Structure formats: structure tokens, C-alpha cells
Amino acid sequence: MEKFVWYNPVRILFGRGECENAGRMVRQYANRILLHYGGGSIRASGIYKRITEALRKAGVDYIELGGVRPNPRLSLVREGIELCRREQIDFILAVGGGSVIDSAKAIATGVPYPGDVWDFYEGRALPEEALKIGVVLTIPAAGSESSDGTVLTNEEGMLKRSFCSPLCYPKFSILDPELCRSLPIHQIAAGGVDILAHIMERYFSPTAGNALSDHLCEGAMCTLIEQIPRVMADKNDLDAWEQVMWTGNVAHNGLLGKGNAEDWASHEIEHELSALYDIAHGAGLAVIFPAWMKYVWREHPDKFVCFARRVLGVMTDDQERAVEQAIEKLEEFFGGLGLAVRLSEINIDDRYFREMAEKACKGGRIGAFWELEPDDVEKIFYLAL
């Protein structure tokens, strides 16, 4: 096992109806806040009404900044920073999925910083202080509600970059499965893949001798493969939503990969794709991850045989066939969720493969399972074509 530090101070409030506690929770930190959210969906679904009523009931005043879009943008973050400074806000409540939460983290770290918030994403500076954040999660996917990371897209150059800081941990995150019922099918599917990918990035590690991580990751993947189709089949199935929402959180709270050198190459590769083509992150991962698997599995075939057997129930003794069947089954699973598993299916051709490969590697190598150079990443893009 590798040395590690495990620290995650986010308070999770989980359960049906828990969103009613949003006001009470916020009130512990502030009585005037920024309410940050996305498009119109939380209004249409009634979530906006439930949360603002909970805030009013707790005596919390709020100003609003909506309009966060998938693959959240630097321009709105800059607007939020100005707004918080002007209004002397020191607490942000993010109501949404990963994009809204990541946007809130960017604003929260940007407000007290005298420079440009993009510095953090380019690694030119580290935040030293930040506004406090709370979360009401509406999309189980990104895991940002329990992570110290934030991903943002800079429209100038379509750069998608991330950074991590303990200051990005929300003070609390409310996971109320009732809020998931109004999600569009495509978003459920993409979210499911995102969650699965968070586990796979931790699982496919070159580190040997970490049976606990192996078993925990396999268990979480099995849960997801069982439960995602249930919520796709019936969006009102709260029993299944509970399990998806909790798995989405555990997948990215940091625990499952502890002791492993984690990979994360597929995420880096996908970030270039969704920055350039503005597709959902999970939809991009459904294309990239199987291609990555095909390219790298021979480096540590045992891990893939375990994955095939324990997660996907592939029982053949032939190593190569087991891995092939596992990847096929995974692609079938993604396809069954209505997602493309080839770039050509979503009208992406090879014209930017080289450029994206080089941007993904940022002048070095990415990944741990197999350390990839731009040439490797380009080949993975072709396998995904």
C-alpha cells in the first residue's frame, strides 16, 4: 500500500425530506448568503421553492446567482466573485450538481483572493482563505459535494482545469433522494457513468496488496450496476435513488482508493473532450473509459480479470477473453443507459485528437496504471473513434 492522508470533514445529511433542513444548517454559519444554482430545472421541479422556503423559515436572507451551465464557466464565476464582494457575502449555498458546486467553490476561493481566480486552476497560486459553502445536491454524479476539488472551464482557449484545496470542502452537504426524481434520463445515465468512473479511477491502480480497496470498489461498482437501471426504469423509485445517491457520494469522498496510486488518466482525457465539444462529462467518460481499458489492460491483467469476475460476472478462465468480455459488457451497460460508446456516434471525428492529447498531458505524463504520453492518448482517442 501507498502512504496516505485521509481527511474529509464534510457533514452529510442524508435521507428523504432532508432538504427541509437547508435553512437550519445554513443558519449556523450565516444569515445572509448567496444562493447559487443552474438553469430553470430547480424552479420547474419545485426544488427552488422548497429551499427558499426553508431559508426564509430559518431567517436566512439570500441574494441569487443562477445560470450555472454544465461544464461551468469562468465568466460566471467572475461575476459571482464581484457580487459577493459587493454584497459582503460570506456563505454560498450551492443547489445543484457538480457544476453548480464547482462554480461555488471557485467563487468561494476567489472572493478573498486579490489576484485572478483562474490562477488556482493553472497552479500559479493556492487559496489561503475562502467563503464557506453548503450544498443541496440535486444530481448524484460528480461527487463534488464531498470532495476538495473543483473543475472549471475558461472560455478563452476552452481550457478545462481543476484544483484541490481543503478550503473547497463544503461545511455540509444535504443528500435528499427526493430531489433526484425530476432528473432527465440522459442526465441520470451520464451521472451514473461519472460515479462508476470515480470508482474505476481508484480501482485500476498499479498498487498491489490493497485488498480492502479492491473489495470496497468492487462492492460500490456492483451496487451501481444494480441500481442505476432501476432509477432509469422508474424515476420515482426512491429506494433505488437512495442507493445511487449514497454510492455517488462514497465513490468520491476519497476513501475507496486510499492506499492505492490512483489513475485518473481517463478523467484528464475526458476533460479535453468536454471542454472542446461541451458534452456531459459522464457521456464523455462512457466513450473514453472502455478505450482506455483496451489500451492499458495488459499492463496489470490480474486487476482486469478481478474486475471481469467480481464486478461483471465474467467467468471464463482465459485471461484475454475475460477482459474482452468485461469491456464488452461494460460498453453494453453504457449502451443500455442510452449512451454512446464511440466518438463517431456523437459526431466527433479525429481532427483535434492530437491537440487534445497534448493538452491532456500538460507537457508530461498522466495516469498511474500506465503512465500515458500524448502518443498514447492519441491512440486511445482512435480506439474510441
Q: How far is CA 275 from CA 268, 283, 352, 355, in A?
A: 11, 13, 12, 12
Binding-residue pattern over the window 352 to 381 for a copy of itself, x denoting contact by CB under 8 A: ------------------------------
Short-list 40, 150, 127, 33, CA closest to 80: 33
Measured from the Cβ of residue 128, the count of other Cβ atoms closer than 10 Å reads 10
Among 22, 216, 323, 377, binds a copy of itself (CB under 8 A): 216
| Beta bridge partners of residue 162, listed in sequence order | 151
Q: Under a CB-based contact definition with an 8 Å cutoff, are residues 312 and 326 in contact? A: yes
Among 114, 157, 209, 363, binds a copy of itself (CB under 8 A): 209
Pick the closer one to a copy of itself by CB: 62 or 169. Answer: 169
Among 102, 145, 194, 242, binds a copy of itself (CB under 8 A): 242
Q: Cell triple for residue 35?
A: 444562493
Min dist. Cβ of residue 217 to a copy of itself (A): 8
d(CA 93, CA 172): 10
Render 170-184 in DSSP notation, one character per residue: -SEEEE-GGGGGG--
Stretch that binds a copy of itself, among 114-122, 155-163, 235-243, 267-275 (CB under 8 A): 235-243
Pairing of strands 149-154, 159-164: antiparallel
Q: Under a CB-based contact definition with an 8 Å cutoff, are residues 172 and 136 in contact? A: no
Among 49, 85, 124, 215, binds a copy of itself (CB under 8 A): 215
Pick the closer one to a copy of itself by CB: 260 or 274. Answer: 260
Does 207 engage in binding with a copy of itself (CB under 8 A)? no
Does 255 engage in binding with a copy of itself (CB under 8 A)? yes
Pick the closer one to a copy of itself by CB: 16 or 124. Answer: 16
d(CA 193, CA 287): 10
Among 181, 186, 235, 258, binds a copy of itself (CB under 8 A): 258
Short-list 236, 354, 370, CA closest to 292: 370
Among 52, 71, 210, 260, binds a copy of itself (CB under 8 A): 210
Backbone angles phi, psi at 384, to 5 degrees: -85, -10
Pick the closer one to a copy of itself by CB: 11 or 56. Answer: 11
Among 41, 150, 243, 260, binds a copy of itself (CB under 8 A): 243
Min dist. Cβ of residue 243 to a copy of itself (A): 6
Min dist. Cβ of residue 338 to a copy of itself (A): 23
Strand order in the sheet with 61-65: 61-65, 32-37, 91-96, 132-137, 172-175
Residues near 298 by beta carbon (within 8 Å), at least 6 away in sequence = none
Measured from the Cβ of residue 334, the count of other Cβ atoms closer than 10 Å reads 24
Pick the closer one to a copy of itself by CB: 44 or 211. Answer: 211
Chain residues 1-60 in contact with a copy of itself, contact rule CB under 8 A: 1-16, 18
d(CA 354, CA 53): 50
Pick the closer one to a copy of itself by CB: 249 or 266. Answer: 249
Chain residues 270-309 in contact with a copy of itself, contact rule CB under 8 A: none
Does 148 engage in binding with a copy of itself (CB under 8 A)? no
Stretch that binds a copy of itself, among 42-50, 183-191, 215-223, 262-270 (CB under 8 A): 215-223
Positions touching a copy of itself (CB under 8 A) are 1-16, 18, 209-212, 214-216, 218-220, 222-223, 226-227, 239, 242-243, 246-247, 250, 255, 258-259
